[in-house]
């Protein structure tokens, strides 16, 4: 199990989005704007769904990675942070962060 997280990827994306490296796919996507990034998210979501229905787990893994990467780029392009989305997900658990941490077994 890798320790690499969406937060780690989000930090990489932030650095690349702020760079002026013409070779950066992230930078190029940001330059194309929200509509193009949103289109990529839609395409990757459909490709992931098709892979799942086909039962192709290897393909689903790749498409899911593409989807998460493009979704994080979309959040950045729209000034919505990953933290805000995680807070929304946390609120749906009916718990506050403090309660969740308190209920975890001691390490």
Please report, as ranges, the residues that interact with ligand PRT according to CB under 6 A. Answer: 12-13, 16, 24-27, 66, 69
41-74 per-residue burial string, b: 16 or more CB within 10 A, e: under 16: beebbebbeebeeeeeeeebeebbebbbbbbbbb
Q: Determine the Cα–Cα distance for residues 76 and 24; give it in Å rounded to an integer.
A: 15
Q: Which is nearer to ligand PRT, 59 or 66 (CB)?
A: 66
Is the Cβ of residue 58 or residue 103 nearer to ligand PRT in the bound state? 58
Least separation in angstroms between residue 88's CB and ligand PRT is 23
**Smallest distance from ligand PRT to CB 68, Å:** 8
């Amino acid at each position: 199990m890798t320790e690499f997280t969406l937060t780690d990827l989000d930090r990489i994306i932030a650095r690349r989005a702020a760079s002026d490296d013409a070779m950066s796919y992230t930078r190029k996507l940001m330059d194309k704007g929200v509509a193009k990034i949103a289109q990529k998210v839609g395409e990757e979501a459909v490709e992931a769904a098709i892979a799942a229905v086909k039962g192709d787990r290897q393909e689903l893994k790749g498409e899911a990675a593409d989807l998460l990467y493009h979704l994080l780029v979309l959040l950045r392009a729209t000034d919505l942070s990953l933290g805000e989305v995680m807070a929304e997900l946390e609120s749906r658990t009916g718990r506050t962060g403090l309660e969740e941490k308190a209920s975890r077994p001691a390490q």
